[in-house]
């Protein structure tokens, strides 16, 4: 029996990690492979976990901290998935996390090398953020300590994945690949569309081959990293919604996102990623905004007009936690109007704590 392949997919908030996990799992399942997925966040009530489960995947969750600070929980999640004898496990770290080569890939190789074959570390990048990071035609909406994290993520990658290629012309793909090559010479860069699946087979081939994984350890200043992460307000909330006689839930989701985008713009805040999952009857809607000025994206549908719905909201915004909470609750109530009663469940809002990795390897093993 060969050990399962363990594939880590990093990249900044909203880069498309969960979309890639879902697409890759579906494609591998069609090819007769068993796949396990792992999601990760600072807190519970994750849109990503619920979304992947709804798509039929076998999912384990590491919550309460990133993989590096919860390394033993990552191992427990891996062991849990091992009972399904997977051919591959694909794991998504928190999008504000970096230094994963030193704190996750090296310890996995050194301490658990007999359990898994660790694949080259892929880091996804959103074309808009790439341009912002180097001031190419886009004004950067995050302070430099946040963009420090974005740049370090790319620096430690074995494989940089230029995602959302469906939004780019071939000339733009070429331009962005050159931009990446200029800053990270010699690194493998692959353009793909996680959403459409273009380039997915090529990516699956690259992560299935026995190539060196975690070859690069970046030198990370934890003060800058911690400050950058703490700039981002985090909110995970659940709510029960009730509309006498039913409601147009899709319109509600769109209205809520539009309000949150307008409110964050008005406060000169910036959305890194705002995502929600609304389930009603047998259906569900997933809606995302990966910026305060980026058109929102809505998928899924709800049949008929059910009276009750369950909502999960995960927001990562450059805004202090208390203000983020007030903003999100205000937008929820405004979108609900008089027709929809909102009963909030657990609402957690905080700024991520300074990362304290369980392990850190100074050099690649």
Residue 11 contact among ligand GTP, Mg ion, none, beta carbon within 5 to 8 Å by kind: ligand GTP
Token couple for 356: 């304290």
- Cα-based angle 33, 20, 135 (whole degrees, multiple of 5): 155
Q: Which C-beta is closer to Mg ion: that of 46 or that of 247?
A: 46
- Contact between 340 and 242 under an 8 Å Cβ cutoff? The reply is yes
Closest of 318, 135, 124, 150 to residue 218, by C-alpha: 150
Contact letters for ligand GTP, residues 218-237 (x by CB under 6 A): --------------------
Query: What residues numbered 88-117 form the site for ligand GTP, per CB under 6 A?
Result: 95
Residue 232 parent element (H or E): none
Instruction: For residue 263, state whether it binds Mg ion (rule: CB under 5 A).
Output: no
- Contact between 200 and 24 under an 8 Å Cβ cutoff? The reply is yes
User: How many residues bind ligand GTP, per CB under 6 A?
Assistant: 22
Q: Is 87 exposed, middle or buried (0-12, 13-18, 19+ CB in 10 A)?
A: middle
Instruction: For residue 164, state whether it binds ligand GTP (rule: CB under 6 A).
Output: yes
CA–CA dist 274, 298 (Å, integer): 12
CA–CA dist 286, 359 (Å, integer): 35
Instruction: For residue 23, state whether it binds Mg ion (rule: CB under 5 A).
Output: no
Instruction: For residue 48, state whether it binds ligand GTP (rule: CB under 6 A).
Output: yes
- Cα-based angle 326, 261, 296 (whole degrees, multiple of 5): 130
Tell me the residue number closest to Mg ion, measured at CB. 18
Instruction: For residue 126, state whether it binds Mg ion (rule: CB under 5 A).
Output: no
Instruction: For residue 18, state whether it binds Mg ion (rule: CB under 5 A).
Output: yes
Query: Length of the chain in residues, anyone?
Result: 365
Residue 103 contact among Mg ion, ligand GTP, none, beta carbon within 5 to 8 Å by kind: none
DSSP class of 187: -
Phi, psi of 191 (to 5 degrees): -95, 135
Cα Rg for the chain, rounded, in angstroms? Answer: 20
Instruction: For residue 349, state whether it binds ligand GTP (rule: CB under 6 A).
Output: no
Q: Which C-beta is closer to ligand GTP: that of 243 or that of 257?
A: 257
Instruction: For residue 44, state whether it binds ligand GTP (rule: CB under 6 A).
Output: no
- Stretch binding ligand GTP (CB under 6 A), from 17-25, 81-89, 103-111, 226-234: 17-25
Residue 45 contact among Mg ion, ligand GTP, none, beta carbon within 5 to 8 Å by kind: none
- Nearest distance from C-beta of residue 317 to Mg ion, angstroms: 15
Query: What residues numbered 278-297 form the site for ligand GTP, per CB under 6 A?
Result: 288, 290, 297
Q: Which C-beta is closer to ligand GTP: that of 146 or that of 340?
A: 146
CA–CA dist 81, 59 (Å, integer): 8
Instruction: For residue 193, state whether it binds ligand GTP (rule: CB under 6 A).
Output: yes
Helix/strand/coil for 238: strand
Q: Is 192 exposed, middle or buried (0-12, 13-18, 19+ CB in 10 A)?
A: buried
Distance (Å) of CA 72 to CA 57, 58, 78, 357, 364: 23, 20, 10, 11, 20
Residue 166 contact among ligand GTP, Mg ion, none, beta carbon within 5 to 8 Å by kind: ligand GTP
Instruction: For residue 195, state whether it binds ligand GTP (rule: CB under 6 A).
Output: yes
Residue selected from 26, 53, 87, 166 as contacting ligand GTP according to rule CB under 6 A: 166
Instruction: For residue 103, state whether it binds Mg ion (rule: CB under 5 A).
Output: no
Give the binding site for ligand GTP (CB under 6 A).
Answer: 11, 13-19, 48, 95, 163-164, 166-167, 193-195, 273, 275, 288, 290, 297
Give the binding site for Mg ion (CB under 5 A).
Answer: 17-18, 48
């Amino acid at each position: 029996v060969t050990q399962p392949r363990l594939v880590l997919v990093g990249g900044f908030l909203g880069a498309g990690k969960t979309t890639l996990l879902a697409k890759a799992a579906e494609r591998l399942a069609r090819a007769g492979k068993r796949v396990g997925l792992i999601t990760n966040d600072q807190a519970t009530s994750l849109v990503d976990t619920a979304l992947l489960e709804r798509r039929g995947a076998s999912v384990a969750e590491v919550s309460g901290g990133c993989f590096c600070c919860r390394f033993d929980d990552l191992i427990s999640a891996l062991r849990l998935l091992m009972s399904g004898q997977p051919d591959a496990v694909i794991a998504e770290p928190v999008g504000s996390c970096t230094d994963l080569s030193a704190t996750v890939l090296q310890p996995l190789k050194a301490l658990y090398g007999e359990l898994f074959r660790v694949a080259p570390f892929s880091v996804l990048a959103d074309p808009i953020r790439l341009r912002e990071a180097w001031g190419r035609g886009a004004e950067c909406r995050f302070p430099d300590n946040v963009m420090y994290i974005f740049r370090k993520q790319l620096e430690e990658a074995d494989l940089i994945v230029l995602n959302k290629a469906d939004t780019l012309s071939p000339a733009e793909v070429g331009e962005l690949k050159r931009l990446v090559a200029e800053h990270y010479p010699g690194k493998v860069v692959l353009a793909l569309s996680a959403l459409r699946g273009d380039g997915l087979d090529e990516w699956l081939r690259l992560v299935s081959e026995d190539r060196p994984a975690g070859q690069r350890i970046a030198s990370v200043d934890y003060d800058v990293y911690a400050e950058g992460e703490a700039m981002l307000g985090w909110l995970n909330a659940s709510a029960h919604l009730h509309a006498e006689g039913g409601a147009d839930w899709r319109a509600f989701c769109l209205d809520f996102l539009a309000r949150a985008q307008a409110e964050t713009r008005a406060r000169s805040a910036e959305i890194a990623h705002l995502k929600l999952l609304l389930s009603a009857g047998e259906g569900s809607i997933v809606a995302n905004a990966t910026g305060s000025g980026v058109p929102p994206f809505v998928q899924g549908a709800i049949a008929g007009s059910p009276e009750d719905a369950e909502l999960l909201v995960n927001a990562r915004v450059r805004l202090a936690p208390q203000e983020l909470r007030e903003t999100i609750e205000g937008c929820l109530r405004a979108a609900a109007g008089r027709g929809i009663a909102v009963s909030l469940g657990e609402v957690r809002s905080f700024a991520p704590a300074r990362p304290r990795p369980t392990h850190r390897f100074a050099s690649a093993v």
